[in-house]
A and B are shown apart, each in its own frame.
Chain A
Amino acid sequence: MEKKKLVIVGNGMAPGRMLEYLFEKDSDAYDVTIFNAEPRVNYNRLMLSPVLSGEKAYEDIITHGDDWYGAHGVTLHKSAKVAQIDRNEKTVTAENGLKASYDKLVIATGSNPFIIPLPGKDLDGVLTYRDLDDVEKMLDAAKSGGRVVVIGGGLLGLEAAAGLKMQGMDVTVLHLMPTLMERQLDPAAGFLLEEEFKRRGIDVRTKANSHEILGDGSGKVKGIKLDDGTEIEASIVVMAVGIRPSFDLAKSASLDVGRGVQVGDDMRTSDPDIFALGECVEHRGMCYGLVAPLYEMAEVIADNLLGGASEYTGSVTATKLKVTGVDLYSAGDFAEGDDREEIVLRDASAGVYKRLVLKDNRIIGAVLYGETADGPWFFDLLKKQSDVSEMRETLIFGQAYQGGAPLDPTAAVAALPDDAEICGCNGVCKGKIVGAITHQGLTSLDDVRAHTKASASCGTCTGLVEQLMQVTLGDAYNPAAVTPMCGCTHLGHSEVRRLIKSKRLKTIPQVMQELEWTSSGGCAKCRPALNYYLVSDWPDEYADDYQSRFINERVHANIQKDGTYSVVPRMWGGMTSSTELRAIADVVDKFNIPAVKCTGGQRIDMLGIKKEDLPEVWADLGKAGFVSGQAYAKGLRTVKTCVGSDWCRFGTQDSTGLGIKIEKFMWGSWTPAKLKLAVSGCPRNCAEATCKDIGVICVDSGYEIHFAGAAGLDIKGTEVLGLVKTEDEALEHIVALTQMYREQGHYLERIYKWAKRIGYDEIRSQIMDDAEKRKAYYDRFVFSQKFAQIDPWSERVSGKDKHEFKPMAVLQAEAAE
């Protein structure tokens, strides 16, 4: 039997999707011919903005390439604009003379940009923003720089403005209404958006009514004049005030048209063999310009082409702005009204604004700015008309705050019902994605996109899809994405460490510049981390930045709750003497130190010292031979020991001597987090070495080295690194292990967490089995110690920035009057 003939006029996203649905159900039902007015294959129009801004190339946004048409036996006529439909003969004819006959016809002519009938609208340099041709014209114009005036502060206009700004042009946006995107946003969110655009250096003018586009006399744009007489110079004017369904072809074929090509719920036009699809459609009085409804229509038509009886009943739409760095989500109706209540959350410093409009305890509108992760959840509640009275108090904080569920976004995704919509563009619900992952064994984001289309259009739900993969696959999912170091960057600790080395970044400002930090001066999280990484990686070249260190490391003492400090002098291996104790007692008396305590690391802690007394306290301690105990440092703290073979009847080796030797070798070294060691003289383990970062248990045959213990927030016994025969070997292994940790650890990551991340076996093989590697680690540690073993106390006592411990001034009451 000969196949029926399906002809499609238009090759946008909607017919592309319709064909996918059609071929999925029955790939042999039709011979398909497409007439495309554009000279190219099908691409993702939602992604034009990233192409304009330069973040993507045309090749990146192709959805159906030539090979796709080939593989599905589709005839694609490019640059073939259909001029005429002959409904009696059932044929279409293109302007270039190509003709095809059809059994079923789909009109998907899309929309045309609305051109305001201003004087000068036909000048060279007046552009619209609709397809790739427009983008190419804009990019071409942007090359010569100058100013572009974008008329229209709606979705398209703002995306065009942001893109052209990124291309280096000066940009002015003219918007007729008082606030931007007034159809999708309330005035407060519109204002935040306006501020964001202004912050990017885009000149935004609201309530601006264009009067005339000015020419330079040779037919080219030179500027624009507003109703109030203002003139703005411009080399390009982009009109982005809206779209009009394109229905001329349908009209000339005497099909019913209104605002668009009119269709019934079965998506048929007034001719039952002709369907209309996409932006050209008027359905129940509505025209749609967003992709989600178009895809719903596409599915209905695909089914009806195969004899089905599907119906399209209209869509509730949600909007996202696709401008990098602007998070904005809006859905439903958010006008104020007497029968409506609203819930508003603002966080000015974080730039967050959220507003929900409720009617009869149901969400009817949602505007989210700055923080949009809960958008799909609110939209789901809105579409389902769910009663939210039970969770009204916490509703605005989002899904993660409901029902005592943990605040973990993954848990929030896990809690979503199966029919919750994840991808708004493609109408993909959670159940479909989870089903595809489990049944088809998908493990990568690209696979999931390919199979379900979820996050394949505008991509803003990518995070949600990844979380869903995480929930479904558990540990089997290994996302490329990482947790950022802090809010100032999207890079994780490992990438930052890698890039510091590979790009040879040697100052904090350089790291922030090269790695595109999003804040001007970092924050209290990233600055100390970067300072450590640079100290660790470039010990000889990097100048330690004290202002990036936490106060304890800046003043070599530990800040206490009342703003005083505690001071811990070093007692090597926990040994002390009467002279030392006498000196401590004198200091305690002299400075009226209120508390003295023994620490867990076998040291003496003097608490409650005023900052301005610190240098004198150190001076006195220094005279007795004390140096800083670095009890404040993310660095080597203490080596705790037992009395070992010197005194103990069970002692097998000189544990005290080894402890002192290790401490004297390693003091002053900075590490990702604090590093506490212990050496026990026999397996009775009185120095508690098996819960330390690194521990040694002496045995008759030598020294058993342990690592990765914890006895703080977590409790964890150590892992055994291995057994060595001599003290020198023990020292070399411990130092090499420490250096490996110094080079790889994330800031504030204790050794047990690092070891778990890297793998115990990997560490054993590098430190125990690979003598060359071990030696190299050891040598690098020794090199860095040349610059690290400077007693900070004596340095500060001898005058380094000593004045900083004193008040800058003392003001009496009179002085202030």
Chain B
Amino acid sequence: MNAETRSWVAIGDLADIPREGARVVKTDRGCIAVFRTVDDEVFALDDRCPHKGGPLSQGIVHGSSVTCPLHNWVFDLATGLARGADEGSVPVTAARVENGKVLLAADDLARRAG
């Protein structure tokens, strides 16, 4: 599916998320961590490390990665895949910014809900 035909859900302003930081979006099926990189890209991952359930939203964001605050697993924000020696992945929700608003892909959200 390409971006033009996808529908998106606005969750707030880009300015609400600190650069190299994250905010949490609560859903019925657990939290989503929405990250903002130093160059203002946004990414959204389930806020749950596959290792021991750590809240990735609380990790240090560096480049396009986040380090889990509990045991320092590192995840690629774009793919949700663990980096380095660890193996695992976090579900990704497509995210983008339009006119300063952060949008999450409705189909990805629906898939989580289902």
Binding site for B on A (CB under 8 A): 347, 349-350, 519-524, 527-528, 546-551, 554-555, 559, 561-563, 611, 801, 803-804, 807-813, 815-817
Contacts and interface: CB of A to CB of B under 8 A. Distances in A.
B9 A815 contact: yes
11 contacts: A349-B84, A523-B74, A524-B62, A527-B62, A546-B18, A547-B21, A547-B61, A804-B23, A808-B34, A811-B26, A816-B27
A521 B63 contact: yes
Given A547-B20, A548-B60, A550-B60, 11 more contacts: A521-B62, A523-B67, A524-B59, A524-B67, A551-B59, A551-B60, A559-B70, A561-B70, A563-B55, A808-B34, A817-B110
A217 to B, nearest CB: 47
B31 to A, nearest CB: 7
A746 to B, nearest CB: 18
A813 B23 contact: no
A523 B110 contact: no
Nearest to B58: A551
Contact of A807 (B28, B31, B60, B84): B31
A550 B25 contact: no
**Most chain B beta-carbon contacts within 10 A, residue among A349, A520, A523, A528:** A349
Nearest to A810: B26
Given A547-B18, A547-B21, A561-B70, A808 B60 contact: no
* Chain A contact residues: helix, strand, loop or mixed: loop
Contacts of A562: 53
* Chain B contact residues: helix, strand, loop or mixed: mixed
Interface in B9-23: 9, 11-12, 16-21, 23
A550 B12 contact: no
A248 to B, nearest CB: 55
Contacts of A554: 58
B55 to A, nearest CB: 4
A521 B58 contact: no
Closest 8 pairs (CB-CB, A-B) = A816-B109, A524-B67, A808-B23, A547-B20, A521-B63, A809-B11, A349-B83, A551-B58
A397 to B, nearest CB: 11
A811 B11 CA distance: 8
Q: Indicate the size class of the contact surface on chain B.
A: 35 or more
A347 B106 CA distance: 33
Interface of B: 9, 11-12, 16-21, 23-28, 31, 34, 37-38, 52-55, 58-63, 65, 67, 69-70, 72, 74, 76, 81, 83-85, 102, 106, 109-110, 112-113
Nearest to B48: A563
A813 B59 contact: no
A274 B106 CA distance: 82
B67 to A, nearest CB: 3
A561 B51 CA distance: 11
B102 to A, nearest CB: 8
Given A349-B84, A522-B62, A817-B106, A559 B24 contact: no
Nearest to A814: B113
Nearest to B76: A349
B19 A809 contact: no
Nearest to B13: A808
Contacts of B85: 347
Contacts of B110: 816-817
Contacts of B54: 563
Nearest to A554: B58
A84 to B, nearest CB: 63
A527 B16 CA distance: 22
Nearest to A546: B18
Contacts of B112: 816
Contacts of A527: 60, 62
A376 B11 CA distance: 55
**Most chain B beta-carbon contacts within 10 A, residue among A559, A561, A807:** A807
A808 B113 contact: no
Contacts of A807: 23-26, 31
